[in-house]
Amino acid sequence: MKKSKDFRREPLTDTQLLMTITICIFVGMYLLAMLIFKGGFLHAQQVFDMLNDNASLIIVSCGLTVVMIGRGIDISVGAVTSFVVMSCVLYLNKGGSLFVSVLIALGIGLAFGIVQGFLISYLEIQPFIVTLAGMFFARGMTTILSVNPQKAAHEGFAKLRETKIVIPWLGYIAKNGKLVPARVELGVVVALCCLLAVFLLLMFHRLGRALYAIGGNPSSALMLGINVKRTRFLSYVISGLLSGISGFVFMMHTGAANATNAAGMEMNAIASSIIGGTLLTGGVGNVIGTFFGTMTLTTIKKIVVSSGLNAPWWQSITTGGMLCFFILLQSVVLSQRARKKKA
Amino acid sequence: MAMQESNLLEMRHINKFFPGVKALSNVDFTLRKGEIHALMGENGAGKSTLIKVLTGVYQSDGGEITVDGKNVAIRSPQDAQNNGISTVYQEITLCPNLTVAENMFIGRERGPFVRQKDYKKRAAELLGELGIPARGTQQLGDCSLAVQQMVAIARAVDMKCRVLVLDEPTSSLDDKEVNVLFNLMRDLKSRGVGIIFVTHFLEQVYAVCDRITVLRNGELVGEYLTEELPQVKLVAKMIGKDLEELKSLGEVEEKKSDIKEIFYEAKDLSSSEARPFDFNIHKGEVNGFTGLLGSGRSESVRAVFGADKVTGGQVQVNGKNVRITKPIDAMKNGIGYLAEDRKRDGIIADLSVRENIILAAQVMKGFFRPISRSEAEAFADEYIKVLNIKTASRETPVGSLSGGNQQKVILARWLLTHPNYLILDEPTRGIDVGTKLEIQKLVLKLAEDGVAVTFISSEIEEMLRTCSRLIVMRDRNIVGELTGADLNEAQIMKTIAGGEAANEKEV
Amino acid sequence: MKKKSKSIFQGGLGQLTIPVIAIALLVLFNLIRDPSFFSIGITHNNDGNAVLAGNLISIVNSASELAVLAMGMTLVTAACGGQDISVGAAAAIAGSTFVKVLKSGGSISGLTVLAAFLMACVVAMLFGTFNGTLVAVFKIQPMIATLILYTCGRSIAYWINGGATPTVSSPILTGIGSFIPGIPIPTPVIIVVVVAVIFRLVFHFTSLELFTQSVGINGSAARLNGINVTGIKLLSFIILGLCVAVAGCIGVCRLGLINHETLLLDVEMDTILAVAIGGNSLGGGKFRISGSIIGAYVIQMLTITLYAMKVSSTDVKAYKAIVIIILVVIGSPVVKSRFEKMMRQRQERKVPVTAKGAK
């Protein structure tokens, strides 16, 4: 009897199921794109470009996933990112040190996380309103610092920005016959580290598990002896901190600050999380899924461009359609599952 | 009661207030080492409140708690756990999105990291030891409710608790599972754990418990040794001095059984929750559905009202074929339904008494024909008076009323629709005895006026007093129908328990 | 968790306390800062019309779209316990439809404007139905469901216009967007009043208010009382669609052009804020439309006050955020109950304790 138990494969949990669906769709979509559009899709650099362009989005999406698993929402992430970029660029241009600018980025993120987390979990104010105010505040502060675009002119930073990981064997032969090696920005490394850290935190740290418990059923979580308030508070702190990191990575990618930086990033991050299988109702989701959510969103945009739909509206219309597809799919899959369980 | 060496837990002079109600008044409770102690009382006697004070869900408004002779302050479930008090509640307090193993160990990890492998191993051991048919790696939400309950018990057991509180854990378990649980309880008892056992099933109390503490209306009635308190006396203690009064009510009201015409008849009616069944009710008749929790009694009446998805059957109202698939269909046919769970399915807590009273009547009147403010006020005032609803004003939010008065508001809501057939599912649960009597009288009066009433209650005496026909259910099937001389507790118990159907079905 | 205790703040005003206090504070602040802030004068505009002018007028005028949207949003919030974040995008679509119809005909007459407006209403209601179906039928959280339209709505508007930002000009449109000759009150203000009156009438002649609140507070109980929960939720989104069309058309008339990118930009956030400042729970349930309208004016008054203090339009957000946080902290149930406990303890100290647990 015991043996047969060990051989039995467990059915997937909700989190695993939704994540698997996303990964399959992403892989399928990418393979299809390789077959149909060839061109860029055949080069590894295509994937690296997608990563280079979206490193900071991946980081804030991780933060959002964390918050959403605990039944929260944080729409300040994009604005905080922008605020961090502006602060750091201005500081660097005043001749500040690179190290301190990293601290500034982390500090701003942490400060937002702590204040928002406190208001939400200890004063029980609706997260949407608190983080909306956070978003307004960060956007306003950004323009107060500077309305005009600022280019970072700092030697150390420029060096850091130029540092790229070169992978020759993943390169391709360009038309002129020269080998173009694959290039990966440092931001991508940071993003992947964040992803790994959050993944480990969610999977193996008691804080992460407590967060899942709260998302599953907050009153049960309380009964199980989990400090619900502190856990929720920390989830916002994590999200804030990741926004800070995202700001620095964003700056490394663009090398300049602009008041409109990262506009709409919060909604992209939410969309990434949702496509990756995170439910706003909490308790279900995973950062690996979120990563593939981001990649799926980006791939769609690339496919739209490759398929010749050049009119500027197609990208977001297809994104919206894709979002709609995923949301409905999840709704159907989960309700189907619930029905099967009942029978 | 002097402080004794073996007293594991003492609760002294516990008070607890809720807006409008005194839930606990100066209650004492003592638990000794290695004893199974039943906490008994009617619905609304304060058992759950006392338990929740002990486990830190509520904070008491006075009184003290000592564990092992030491004064302790319990402000949160964590405090309770730290003091060795574990609880298993009637409703599952686990997280459906986590695995079984995690549900057993979350919230009590040592160190920052979660050792999933250890959990899996220990969970497998524990589940095997307790004979729970679940795997540690399974998602909890995929398990049956009974298994989920067992997992909650396994968690409590593993916590090396000194005090184990079981708050109606058996209501979702079948006989076999209950026996497994009892063996487990005896095992723990021999290890010196004190167990507080709250249940509705009297037999279970006599099967495992050493001592019984009875509460009534938030007050302590007394503490007794089980062998010294026969079942009848226990019931008398639970119902209290009102027993005489209740008897007289039953005697005064002569149940008429003159056959009137059938108002409602269903054949093979089934819903997503209820198996196919036949049922009818006459005008002016009070009938009841009885059976244990989970026997399908509520599900059946919900099918009559169209509250769940109706999946089949023919329904006749007043001899005409009708289709009832949604509540509004039933309402249009003159059927009203007071739901079992008042909080979840009854009151609209933030709305005023007035708005709650007119709600159903408004729905029936139609979206485009609102009841005017003055009309609504007149209705509200009328029913506040008729039903003697204790409320500050008709504009008070209904959520701030006591349970009994909330129930009266919902009754008023349905009476205002002037139903021909009223289904009352547990209308007296969790409300004080005075209000219970009022509701019972009201039911009988309605029947006199020609309204058909279906009355469901967990308290059999109450059903005997009001109903002239009882439909007995077991395992989601109707197993008997009792009328006339068969309407007595022994016969009902026999029918619920199974064996021969007590009586031939008669219509 | 629902707050149960009655707040001492809730004198006669009930949930309107917070927005009224906010308005009062702003008025007081402005009186101290610069009493001339409130002066209202009559000036002649370009058409030679005698019209009212002054800060107050511009507050009331420029808050019009917000107020109209807030009314609809209140209903959606109450019924569904969530918010529609696509109102700005949907307004852009409605505005584009409006312009598209205007452009398709020859000259712009009153009739074509009416037809264009009706067309905008139909389109906005269709998108409202889309959102509403996702929420009511598929049981998707409103914010997630409307994220779809939020993402692609403005692009749809762009597409309707074929990638241009066309301008329209006609005295009729100017009349709607600013002033009707002979009437000194800005037309958008009149429209807000009309919409508010319509809401009042709808509440008077239907059971919408009672049903919406019932659905929002306890959907399960509402269903068992025969209310069509799905229908009510859907209806709330359709009504919001109408409000979106009105707001979108006002926006177009004001500028005489449709720019899908900037028309009512970020208005969804302000709208939700107006609902919250109006004392409505964002978790649904009891609501007061009047609160949301006042909320809209609070936001606009704050903005104009900041402008008057020479804060640039981009920086306003930061100050706004601080005021919002102060307001919601005051309104937070935790802070309220702490405060009440303090007050009660103070009272108890005055009255000697006589009540003791009776045996």
- Answer yes or no: are the C-beta atoms of B291 and B468 closer than 8 Å: no
Q: What is the structure's pLDDT at C109?
A: 87
CA-nearest residue of chain A to B134? A5
CA distances to B381, C43, C126 from C184, rounded to whole Å, are: 48, 9, 36
Range scoring the smallest mean pLDDT among A320-329, B12-21, B71-80, B444-453: B12-21
- Answer yes or no: are the C-beta atoms of C254 and C188 closer than 8 Å: yes
Q: What is the structure's pLDDT at A2?
A: 40
- Answer yes or no: are the C-beta atoms of B100 and B151 closer than 8 Å: yes
Beta-carbon separation of A207 and B112 below 8 A: yes
Chain A within 8 Å of B271 (Cβ-Cβ)? Answer: no
Closest CA–CA distance from residue B275 to any residue of chain A (Å): 13
- Mean pLDDT value across residues B394-406: 86
The answer as to whether B413 is a domain residue is yes
Q: Where are the domains of chain A?
A: 14-24+37-303+311-327
CA-nearest residue of chain A to C157? A313
Report whether pLDDT(B370) > 70.
yes
Q: What is the structure's pLDDT at A341?
A: 64
CA distances to B488, C23, C38, C49 from C54, rounded to whole Å, are: 83, 17, 7, 15
Report whether pLDDT(A319) > 60.
yes
B431/B414 same-domain check:
no
Chain A within 8 Å of B466 (Cβ-Cβ)? Answer: no
Determine if the pTM surpasses 0.80: yes
Q: How far is CA B216 from the centre of its chain?
A: 16
Beta-carbon separation of C357 and B347 below 8 A: no
Beta-carbon separation of C148 and A136 below 8 A: no
Q: What is the structure's pLDDT at B253?
A: 47
Q: What is the structure's pLDDT at B19?
A: 65
B233/B287 same-domain check:
no
Report whether pLDDT(A211) > 60.
yes
Confidence of residue C11 (pLDDT cuts 50, 70, 90): very low
Chain A within 8 Å of C83 (Cβ-Cβ)? Answer: yes
Interface test mutation site (partner A, options B85, B139, B311, max chain A beta carbons within 10 A): B139
B57/B161 same-domain check:
yes
Amino acid at C72: G
According to the per-residue pLDDT averaged within each range, which of A261-275, B106-120, C236-250 is highest? C236-250
Set of chain A residues whose Cβ sits within 8 Å of the Cβ of B108: 225
**A14-24+37-303+311-327 maps to CATH 1.10.3470:** yes
C288-324 tens-digit pLDDT: 999 999 999 999 999 999 988 888 888 888 988 898 8
B371/B466 same-domain check:
no
CA distance linking residue C221 with residue B347, whole number of Å: 7
Set of chain A residues whose Cβ sits within 8 Å of the Cβ of B103: 224
Report whether pLDDT(C3) > 50.
no
Domains contained in chain B, number: 3
Range of the domain at B452: 260-334+419-507
DSSP C20-61: HHHHHHHHHHHHHH-GGGG--EEEE-TT--EEEESHHHHHHH
- Mean pLDDT value across residues A100-125: 95
Report whether pLDDT(A3) > 50.
no
Beta-carbon separation of C357 and B364 below 8 A: no
B475-498 tens-digit pLDDT: 788 888 988 888 887 787 778 766
Q: What is the structure's pLDDT at B333?
A: 94
A231-247 tens-digit pLDDT: 999 999 999 999 999 99
CA-nearest residue of chain A to B100? A13
Q: What is the structure's pLDDT at C359?
A: 34
Set of chain B residues whose Cβ sits within 8 Å of the Cβ of A224: 77, 93-95, 103, 106-107
Provide CB contacts within 8 A for A65, sequence distance 6+: A198, A273, A276, A278, A285, A286, A287, A289, A290
- Answer yes or no: are the C-beta atoms of C51 and C181 closer than 8 Å: no
Chain A within 8 Å of C5 (Cβ-Cβ)? Answer: no
CA distance linking residue C347 with residue B276, whole number of Å: 61
The answer as to whether B255 is a domain residue is no
Amino acid at A158: A
Chain A within 8 Å of C307 (Cβ-Cβ)? Answer: no
B469 SS3 class: strand
Report whether pLDDT(C257) > 80.
yes
Query: Which two three-digit tokens encode residue C18?
Result: 């917070």
Helical pair C208-217 and C229-255, crossing angle rounded to 10 deg: 110
CB nearest to C226's CB, from B331, B368, B371: B331
Taking one residue from B and the other from C, the number of pairs with CB-CB distance under 8 angstroms is: 89
- The secondary element (H helix, E strand) that includes residue B10 is strand B7-18
CB nearest to A213's CB, from B76, B106, B128: B106
CB nearest to B62's CB, from C204, C286, C357: C357
Report whether pLDDT(C13) > 90.
no
B219/B266 same-domain check:
no
CA distance linking residue C233 with residue B254, whole number of Å: 49
Backbone angles phi, psi at B267, to 5 degrees: -120, 130
The answer as to whether B77 is a domain residue is yes
Backbone angles phi, psi at B317, to 5 degrees: -120, 125
B241/B103 same-domain check:
yes
Query: Which two three-digit tokens encode residue A169?
Result: 């064997």
- For the sheet containing B310-317, what is the strand order? B277-282, B262-271, B310-317, B320-322
Give the end of a domain, one of B248, B275, B306. Answer: B248
DSSP B234-259: HHHHHHTTHHHHHHHHHHHSPPP---
Report whether pLDDT(A274) > 80.
yes
Give the end of a domain, one of B201, B228, B248. Answer: B248
C27-36 tens-digit pLDDT: 898 889 888 8
Report whether pLDDT(C134) > 60.
yes
CA distance linking residue A178 with residue B397, whole number of Å: 78
Query: Which two three-digit tokens encode residue A7?
Result: 């051989």
Set of chain B residues whose Cβ sits within 8 Å of the Cβ of A204: 113-114, 116
CB nearest to C225's CB, from B25, B360, B400: B360
According to the per-residue pLDDT averaged within each range, which of B156-165, C160-169, C242-251 is highest? C242-251
Report whether pLDDT(B5) > 70.
no
Set of chain C residues whose Cβ sits within 8 Å of the Cβ of B337: 224
Confidence of residue B258 (pLDDT cuts 50, 70, 90): low
CA distances to A47, B357, C131, C200, C223 from C212, rounded to whole Å, are: 49, 16, 17, 14, 12
ipTM of the complex: 0.84
Mean pLDDT (chain B, rounded): 84
Q: How far is CA C281 from the centre of its chain?
A: 14
- Answer yes or no: are the C-beta atoms of B49 and B24 closer than 8 Å: yes
Q: What domains can be seen in chain C, in order of their start residue? A: 14-353 (1.10.3470)
Q: What is the structure's pLDDT at C70?
A: 97
Neighbours of chain C (3+ CB pairs under 8 A): A, B
- Answer yes or no: are the C-beta atoms of A56 and A246 closer than 8 Å: yes
Mean pLDDT (chain C, rounded): 87
Interface test mutation site (partner C, options B12, B22, B350, B398, max chain C beta carbons within 10 A): B350
Listed in order, strand segments (DSSP E) in A145-282 are 150-151, 164-173, 179-185, 256-257
B161/B118 same-domain check:
yes
Mean pLDDT (chain A, rounded): 90
DSSP A20-67: HHHHHHHHHHHHHHHHHH-GGGGSHHHHHHHHHHHHHHHHHHHHHHHH
CB nearest to A317's CB, from C1, C152, C276: C152
- Mean pLDDT value across residues B425-440: 79
Set of chain B residues whose Cβ sits within 8 Å of the Cβ of C285: 350
Report whether pLDDT(B364) > 90.
yes
| B382 exposure class (CB count in 10 Å sphere: 0-12, 13-18, 19+) | middle
CA-nearest residue of chain B to C217? B348
CA distances to B160, B206, B209, C43, C339 from B182, rounded to whole Å, are: 18, 12, 10, 88, 48
Closest CA–CA distance from residue A206 to any residue of chain B (Å): 6
- Answer yes or no: are the C-beta atoms of A245 and A194 closer than 8 Å: yes
The answer as to whether B107 is a domain residue is yes
Measured on CA atoms in the order C171, C176, C180, C184, is the torsion positive or negative?
Answer: negative
**Helix residue ranges per DSSP H, C161-228:** 171-177, 187-205, 208-217, 219-224
CA distance linking residue B88 with residue A228, whole number of Å: 19
Range scoring the smallest mean pLDDT among A33-42, A62-71, C45-54: C45-54
CA-nearest residue of chain B to A226? B107
CA distances to C73, C131, C141, C272 from C85, rounded to whole Å, are: 10, 10, 11, 8
CA distance linking residue B190 with residue C57, whole number of Å: 81
Chain A within 8 Å of B128 (Cβ-Cβ)? Answer: yes
The answer as to whether B352 is a domain residue is yes
Give the end of a domain, one of B202, B220, B248. Answer: B248
B63/B18 same-domain check:
yes
CB nearest to A132's CB, from C159, C269, C312: C269
Neighbours of chain A (3+ CB pairs under 8 A): B, C
CA distance linking residue B264 with residue A92, whole number of Å: 82
- Mean pLDDT value across residues B1-23: 75
Report whether pLDDT(B438) > 90.
no
Neighbours of chain B (3+ CB pairs under 8 A): A, C
Set of chain A residues whose Cβ sits within 8 Å of the Cβ of B113: 204-206
B424/B496 same-domain check:
yes
Quick one: DSSP state of residue B481?
E
Beta-carbon separation of C322 and A130 below 8 A: no
For chain A positions 278-307, those within 8 Å of chain C (CB to CB) are 280-281
| B228 exposure class (CB count in 10 Å sphere: 0-12, 13-18, 19+) | exposed
B330/B351 same-domain check:
no
Measured on CA atoms in the order C188, C191, C193, C196, is the torsion positive or negative?
Answer: negative
Beta-carbon separation of A323 and C314 below 8 A: no
- Answer yes or no: are the C-beta atoms of B364 and B332 closer than 8 Å: yes
Beta-carbon separation of C225 and B355 below 8 A: no
Quick one: DSSP state of residue A119?
I
Confidence of residue B14 (pLDDT cuts 50, 70, 90): very high
CA distance linking residue B302 with residue B324, whole number of Å: 11
Q: Using an 8 Å CB-CB cutoff, list residues of chain C that contact chain B.
A: 2, 4-5, 204-208, 210-211, 213-214, 217-218, 220-228, 285-286, 357-359
Chain A within 8 Å of C2 (Cβ-Cβ)? Answer: no
B482 SS3 class: strand
Confidence of residue B82 (pLDDT cuts 50, 70, 90): confident
> At B312, which CATH number?
3.40.50.300
Provide CB contacts within 8 A for A164, sequence distance 6+: A183, A184, A185, A186
Chain B within 8 Å of A178 (Cβ-Cβ)? Answer: no
Beta-carbon separation of B305 and C207 below 8 A: no
Range scoring the smallest mean pLDDT among A224-228, B214-218, B369-373, C348-352: C348-352
B464/B396 same-domain check:
no
Antiparallel, parallel or unpaired: β B310-317 and B469-474:
unpaired
- Mean pLDDT value across residues B94-103: 90
Task: Count how many Cα atoms sit within 13 Å of the Cα of residue B487 in the half-sphere of its side chain.
Answer: 20
- Answer yes or no: are the C-beta atoms of B74 and B80 closer than 8 Å: yes
Among residues B240, B213, B239, B236, the alpha carbon closest in space to that of B226 is found at B213
Confidence of residue C269 (pLDDT cuts 50, 70, 90): confident
- For the sheet containing B70-72, what is the strand order? B21-32, B7-18, B64-67, B70-72
Range scoring the smallest mean pLDDT among B498-502, C43-47, C320-324: B498-502
CB nearest to A217's CB, from B96, B109, B116: B96
Quick one: DSSP state of residue B221?
E
B305/B359 same-domain check:
no
The answer as to whether B254 is a domain residue is no
Chain A within 8 Å of C203 (Cβ-Cβ)? Answer: no
